Amino acid sequence: MTQPRLTARWSIIEPFTVKGGVGLFSQDPTPDEVNPDFGNPNLKSQKAWHYSAGFEYKPRPYFTIDLTGFYKDIYNLVSRTDKVVVDGQGMMRPLRYDNSGKGRAMGLELMVRHDFTNNFSGWLAYTLSQSKRLDAADPNWRLFDFDQTHILAVVGSYQLPRNWMIGGRFRLVSGNPITPVTGAVYNAANDRYYPSYGEVNSDRLPFFHQLDLRVDKRWIYNGWILNVYLDIQNVYNRSNTEDFDYNFNFRQSNPQQGLPILPILGIKGEY
């Protein structure tokens, strides 16, 4: 399958560079979606046209600022369907999935990079985006399951004397979309409550943020290198919410927390 792509860069005047690109990309359905028993083996690949445009500013040889806007037009998107088909034996069976969905994604990406100079290297990356999809059985656009409006990452490391190095990473990300539980219905036949839901992906988990630190020490010998490091993840023990647990009648909920502070001591040899 032909997937044309084109990128271009134009250095207008130092230190500014304009760039842009367009291309067709594809992605195969997942194994469960094409499973003959649980999916649709006749699904086609999902496709998307990617468009991007932006500029780079390089005020110093080691310092770069990159700003890029992007847009994706997605089609042949695999989506659930209530349609039925007649198989080769004349039997009716559910189609389960088809390629009638479509989607779109747009946003801005900012990258500020400091190459290794004066014993320091690091970068800052920020993405502002929105991604939505339209499924076959739904007249309304909804957010993709992993849509994240804000994504911020800051990474840096500093080389100390005697082969010591310290570094850190901070992340701040919008919580993933969730479908809110709006109530519950009691079923007397089996003495159980069943939840009722609001619009799909109309709510979000709280923001995720975390700081990780690392200290490295290297000993360089003839023919091999010994590296000992201490990696501390989630330094300030942030309780990031990954989901919610509900009580028996769905009136109360408790957040499911991610990993607490996690120190890791490691030894690595390189030959």
Tokens 């084109």 -> residue: 6
Give the whole-angstrom CA distance, residue 151 versus residue 149.
7
**Is residue 16 over pLDDT 90?**
yes
Give the whole-angstrom CA distance, residue 20 versus residue 261.
42
**Is residue 9 over pLDDT 90?**
yes
**Is residue 91 over pLDDT 80?**
no
Tell me the domain boundaries of the chain: 1-124, 145-271
What's the chain's average pLDDT? 94
Burial of 154 (0-12, 13-18, 19+ CB in 10 A): middle
Report pLDDT digits (tens) over 106-134. Answer: 999 999 999 999 999 999 999 999 999 99
Q: Nearest 5 degrees, angle CA 153-CA 157-CA 159? A: 175
pLDDT classification of 15: cutoffs 50, 70, 90: very high
Report pLDDT digits (tens) over 188-241. Answer: 999 999 999 999 999 999 999 999 999 999 999 999 999 999 999 999 999 999
Candidates 129, 5, 142, 17; CA nearest to 70 is 129
pLDDT classification of 90: cutoffs 50, 70, 90: confident
Candidates 234, 209, 229; CA nearest to 218 is 229
Give the whole-angstrom CA distance, residue 54 versus residue 210.
29
Which amino acid is residue 83, in one-letter code? K
Which amino acid is residue 134, in one-letter code? L
Residue 75 host element (H or E) = strand 63-86
